[in-house]
Structure formats: structure tokens, C-alpha cells
Structure 1
Amino acid sequence: MSSWKRNVWILFVCQFLVLGAMTMIMPFLPLYLQELGVAGKEVSIWAGFIFGANFFTAFLFSPFWGRMADRHGRKLMILRSGFGMAVVIILTGFATGPVSLLLLRLLNGVISGFIPASIALVATNTPKKHVGYALGTLNSGAVAGAICGPLFGGIMAESFGFRMIFNITGVCILIAAIVVLMFVKEESIPTSQKEKTNAVQDFKRVTGNSPILSLFVVGFLIQFALLGMNPLIPLFVQKLTDGQNVALFAGIAPSVMGFANMIVSPKLGKLGDQKGSQNVLYYTLIGAAAFSIPQAFVVDLWQLIALRFMLGLCIGGLLPSVNSLIKKLAPEGMESRTYGFSNSAVYLGNMLGPVIGGWLASMAGTRALFLFGGAILLINVVFVKWKVLPELGRQNKPYYQAKEAFH
């Protein structure tokens, strides 16, 4: 097996471990807060802050770690994040109250970046004609972990308690970091750069290729729309089932979407390599909008589950296509910094989506979320059609030929 394929499949397994471990603990943070002595309405307030804390610091520090990756290597950043998160999450199991839990979540966001660094390593160490397939496969591993994590977490919470879940999570991430250390080989290692730049200068250089800034906007809108809908799905399921077996069906609804995403991501990535990632992005965005809006009008649970499955098939072509295009457009030697800024845009969507979605649901009801999310995705379709695609069409072809020859 060639080196790039071996890296893809090893990181596929590692991303499964990391996302599976992280999602083992996320659903139980409110319950863990109750165990720490928080009660009443304060649980919801603290849970909101603690959930968003990780994304907030990750949003701030992602460009910095991208710069470090361009200077010292992407594998080093994976190891830095893996070993660092393992320690912090194990310590989270020893939190003494909501303040210490919040501080540890903030610290976890500072040192996080296992998934973005893995994407950057695969993107920069894979031949151009296979980048879409490689990133789609990597996305499948992450999604598979996100599907299995809550299930395993629920089983272990019943058997061992919440604190033990954090220890198990930390150990899983530690194992993933050790596997990367031993088996992942970075072929394209950045040369040490003497030039010292700051984040503002880096951003100006990265966005000098105009489609890149537009792709940051696309990534933000994707996460803003999807994360605005997802957190309140259990409440909607509760209404559709009259309160019967809510936990079971609330788990099925996101799981079918993730399962569809996992199946289709590599196939859409390969299609992007053949027909253009921008085309896959455009048509899957249309599909995502088309399957989001009808969810506001479902009257039976099976209708919601069917539409969530179809939405998952479309989601598999969104962020992997954005990442594939960013790889092709990033300035030479600044690939990781470009991904750093892109990840900041995604983290911003992760933060703002649930906040705006929760506010909207309180004002207009849960069904309005699907209309809102679908409208944002439609705006994204128009933005890609009239902004991103023309900008990509105007790119300088000799630049791409020279870049391909360099690789």
C-alpha cells in the first residue's frame, strides 16, 4: 500500500477513536454538572457555557496551530493535540465544580486540533487526483466515531459512572496519538521558515486568492445551518412520539444521518476528484436544503428519520468538498494556516448555530428551526452559484499547473 493510502486508513481509525471518545462525554455534560452539585435552571446555563467553551478557544487558537504546522509539520500538531487532550480530558474526570469544568473545557479547546491537523496532513501528503477521495474517507471515520460514541458512552455511564467516562475517553485519545506516532509517515514535511508573520499578515496572504475567503464563508454557513437544527432534535422527537421511548428515537434520528454521511463521503470525494469538488459542493448543498425544509412539516417519526437519512447523504459532500478545494487553492507552504482559518470559520458556525437556533425555537417553535436551517442552506447555494463558482473559474491556470508540477 502506498504511503498516502496507509496514512489515510490509519488516520481513519484514529479519527474514529477520537470522535467516538469525544462524543461519549458530550451528551452527558448536563448530567455530570448535576453530579457536581449544580441544580435547577443553573444546569442549563452552565451546560451552555461549558458546551460552547471548547469551540470558543478552538476558534481563537486554530490559526496559531495552523502556522505552527506549516513551520514544524502536521504530524507534530496531531501529536501535540492528541497527547494534550488525553491529559486534559482525564483531568476533567476529577473536576470539583462547574468552574473547574469550564476552565478545563476552555483549555481543551486551546490544545484541540487532532481532526484539523489530520485533514491538513492527508491533504498535503496525498496526490492531487486523490485528495477528494482521501478527505471523504477521513470524514467517514470521524462520522462513524460520532455515531458510535454516544451509544458506548451511555452503556459505560450506566456501568461505571460519569467520571470514569472521562478517563476512558482520555485513554482512547492517548491510544490514537500513540498510533499516529508509530505508524503515520509525513512525506511532505515543511521546511523551517525564517520569515516571521502574524495572524493578520497570514490572513491577508491566504485570502489573496479570492475563492478561499468565499469558501470560509461557505464552511461557516454549513455549520451554522446544521448545528442550529441538531441540538433540539430530541425535543422535536418528543413531540412526534408523545413522550414514548424518547431517548431511543432521539438517538436514532441523528444516527441515521451520520450513517448515511459515513457511507457516501468516500464516494462523493471520488466523484469530486473526477468531476470537480465545486460541483459536488453545489449539488449536495441543493440537496441538503431540499431535505431540510420538509422536516418542518412532518407528522410522523418515520418521515423525520427518512428525511434525516437523505440529509445525511448530502452532508457527506459538503465540508469534504470545501476542504478539497482549499487544498487546491492554498498558497504554497501555507496549507495548514489556510486550514486553520477555515477551521476557525467552522468553529464560529458551531458556536453561533445552537445559540441562534435555541433563541429561534423559543420564539417560534422547534419546527421553525428546519425552515431557518433550510433557508441558510439555500442562501449558501446562491452564494456558491454566483460567487464561489465564478471566482474558481477565474483562477489562473498556469498557477495550478506550476503547483502540480512542484508536487
Structure 2
Amino acid sequence: MKNWKKNLWILCAGQFLFMASMSQIIPFLPLYLQELGLTDSAEISKWSGLIFGSQFLTALIFSPIWGKIADRYGRKMMLIRSGIGMAIVTILMGFATNHIHLLILRIINGTISGFIPAAIALTATNTPKERTGYAIGILQSSAVAGSICGPLIGGVMADIMGFRAIFMYTGIFVFLATLIVIFFVHEKFERKENEEKTSLVQDFKVIIARKPILSFFFIGTLIQLAMLGTMPLIPLFVQELTDSSQYLAFLAGLTGAVMGFTNMLASPQLGKLGDRHGAQHVLFYSLIAAALITLPQAFVLDLWQLIALRFLLGVTLGGMLPSLHTLVRHYAPKGMESRTYSYATSATFLGNFIGPIAAGQLAAQFGLRSIFISAFILLLLSACWVKYLLNVHFQQQAKEQIH
């Protein structure tokens, strides 16, 4: 097997475990907080949101720092650092004695993370340019699979072995994945000698000077605002569409899982399409399709209609973030790929953090169906932005290459 393909499949396994470990706490977090001593339902809701979101917030802040170090010392080193650190912290979560301990550990976990941008940067820089879209699509599929399976695995394991054991086993699996990275992932990395030391602000200025990278960052945030904003409220919408509370948890899980399943299948194929015809075109048409599929969700009358639309939406999602990451790879300044991906990851984490909060406020004011209308507007705005880039920047670049 070619070296880049071997790296890709190993990183996919690590990405799966990373995303699963970040999301596996979702189904039982309120119950675990009860075990840690919280009894008031309002307090449990408040601390559940704070503990879950804190990891994304600190990951958003620290991602550029780890990206800078990765560009200087290698992406593989960052994968190892992140993997070992997260394994230790995840195991320690099983020994938390109160909700403050759990919050602190989740904050630390976000601080030491950096696996995703390092994995994307290593894959993008060690893969033949004509196969980058395909490789990043595969990597995206593994991340989505982890985020889907994490809550399912966490829920099943909680019933079988209790909450604390989940953290222990997850930490062990993350550590095993890190060992596989240590021994089997090979990176082509040439460290620059006497590289000028720059600040994060200087790095950011250099990166966004490469147009249209800053636009990609904003588009990434808008996509996550639209897609992540609706997800936490889907169970409530499913409840609204069903007459009986029987099998409610299963139906809510099914509605969320179908989107992830089709995303997993579509990402590699759309990545190949982007390699042949341009990732910018795949991104534009995926955004248009996503907007047109999202709007009808505000007007569904039966659950099967919502499930069918979420199924189709998953296909379009497979053409958004992978295409965006491929474009970031193309325009990233040479030698600053990890830093560029780190800022791109921070932009998506910003959407992850703000999206559910904003959607919750919107639903409280205007009802659950309003979140789909707002998501439609965000996706349409993103599509218009990409269309502008197609008409201005990409067209201009094509003319320059001809001349």
C-alpha cells in the first residue's frame, strides 16, 4: 500500500476515536452529573451545557497555537501529543468527584486537543495534490462516523458498565490509537532552519493575506452555525411530530443518524468529484442543495418527511467541509499549512459553540420550525459568497494561469 494511503487509513481510525471520545458523553452527561451530586433540574441543564461546550471553546482558542508548533516541529508530533494528553485526561474524567472537576477536565481536554487540524494538515501535505479532495473526504467521513457512533456507544456502555468505566475504556482506546500513529504513520517533513519567529497575530495576517482564505474561514463558521444549530433541537422537533412518546429516543437518534450515514458515504465520492472538476464548484452546488433541502424541513407534517429530508441533507454535507478544507490546502502559505488548518478548525469550532446557543434562543422566541428557516438563510448566504468568489477570484486566477 502506498505510504499516503496507509497514513490516511490510520489517521481515519484516530479521527474516529477522537470524535467519538468528544461526543460520547452526550447521552449520559445529565445522569453523570446527578451521580456527582447535582439534584436540581435547572442546575443540571445549566452545567450540562457549560461542561459540553467548554471543550469546544478552549479548542477554538488553542488550536492556532498547536498549529504553529506543528508547522515548526511536524504534524505527527502534534498527533502524538494530543493523543496521549487526551487519553490521560479522559481517564481522569472517570475519577471526577464533582461537576467542577469534570468541567476543569473538559476545559483541559479542549486545551490540549489539536488532533483534527494536525491530521488534516498531515494528510493534505503528504497526499498527491490530485488526490487531496478524495483523502480529505475519507478523513471527514471518519470524523462524522465518530461523532455519530460516540453518543450511541456512550449510551450502550453506560447501561452495561456504568458511567465511570466509559471514560476509562475510551482513554485506553485513544492511547492505543496514538501508539498506532507512533509506529505506523510516516510523515515527510522538512524543518526550516533559522526560521524567523513570529507571533500568532503576524501569522494570521500572513495567512489571510492569501485571498480568499479569510472568506473560507467565515464560510466554515456559517456552515457550522446552520448545521450544528439544528442538531441539539431535533429530538424536541421529533417529539412534536409524533403522537406517542414510545420509542422517542430511538426515533430522535434515527433522525440524526441518517444524515451522518449519507454524509459518510458521500464525502469520498464528492471529494473525487472535486479533484476532477474543482472543489469550489462542489462546495457551491452542495451549499445550494443544502439550502433547498433545509427550508422544507420547517414545513414537514410527518416524521418520515423529516427523516427523508435529513437523509438527503447528509449527502450535501459531504460536499461542504471536505471541499472547504481542500481549498484551504490549495491556498495555504507554504510551510504554514498546519497553522492555516488550525484557524480553519477554530472557525468551525466557533460555529459549533455559537450555533446551538443561538438556535435555542431562536426556538424559544419563534418556535422550533424557525431554526430551519434561519439555517436556510445562512446556507444561502454562504452559497452567494462562494458564487461571488467563483465570479471574481477563481475566474481571475484561471486567467492568470492561462497567461
Give TM-score scaled by structure 2 length: 0.96
Structure 1's unaligned 5+ residue stretches are: 402-407
1-side partners of 2:195 and 2:401: how far apart?
Answer: 24
Show the counterpart of 2:29. Answer: 29
Q: CA deviation at 1:188?
A: 3.2
Contact 1:277 1:321 (C-alpha < 8 Å) held by counterparts: yes
Show the counterpart of 1:405. Answer: none
Q: 1:365 to 1:194 in 2, by over 3 A?
A: same
Structure 2's unaligned 5+ residue stretches are: none
Show the counterpart of 2:20. Answer: 20
Show the counterpart of 1:376. Answer: 378
Q: CA deviation at 1:247?
A: 0.5
Show the counterpart of 1:233. Answer: 234
2-side partners of 1:84 and 1:377: how far apart?
Answer: 36
**Cα deviation code 1:334-380 (max 9, x no counterpart):** 01111111111111111110110010011111111111111110111
Root-mean-square deviation (Å) = 1.7
SS in 2 for 1:249: helix
1-side partners of 2:156 and 2:193: how far apart?
Answer: 47
**Which runs of structure 2 are paired with 1:61-210 in the superposition (5 Å)?**
61-210=62-211
Q: CA deviation at 1:49?
A: 1.0
SS in 2 for 1:395: helix
2-side partners of 1:80 and 1:53: how far apart?
Answer: 20
SS in 1 for 2:192: coil
Q: Which one is further off, 283-292 or 29-38?
A: 29-38
Q: Does 1:57 align with 2:58?
A: yes
Show the counterpart of 2:276. Answer: 274
Contact 2:84 2:178 (C-alpha < 8 Å) held by counterparts: yes
Q: 1:392 to 1:28 in 2, by over 3 A?
A: farther
Q: 1:345 to 1:400 in 2, by over 3 A?
A: farther
Equivalent of residue 357 in structure 2, options 352, 355, 358: 355
Q: CA deviation at 1:52?
A: 1.2
Q: CA deviation at 1:396?
A: 8.0
Q: CA deviation at 1:16?
A: 2.0
Contact 1:22 1:169 (C-alpha < 8 Å) held by counterparts: no
Q: 1:133 to 1:190 in 2, by over 3 A?
A: farther
Q: Does 1:216 align with 2:246?
A: no
1-side partners of 2:194 and 2:84: how far apart?
Answer: 25
Contact 1:264 1:313 (C-alpha < 8 Å) held by counterparts: yes
SS in 1 for 2:153: helix
Q: 1:209 to 1:72 in 2, by over 3 A?
A: same
**Which runs of structure 2 are paired with 1:244-263 in the superposition (5 Å)?**
244-263=246-265
Q: Which one is further off, 368-377 or 32-41?
A: 32-41
Aligned-residue sequence identity (percent) comes to 55
SS in 1 for 2:25: helix
Give TM-score scaled by structure 1 length: 0.95
Q: CA deviation at 1:398?
A: 7.3
Q: CA deviation at 1:95?
A: 1.1
Number of residues paired by the alignment? 401
SS in 1 for 2:69: helix
SS in 1 for 2:198: coil
SS in 1 for 2:246: coil
2-side partners of 1:385 and 1:102: how far apart?
Answer: 42
Q: CA deviation at 1:30?
A: 1.8
Q: CA deviation at 1:389?
A: 5.1
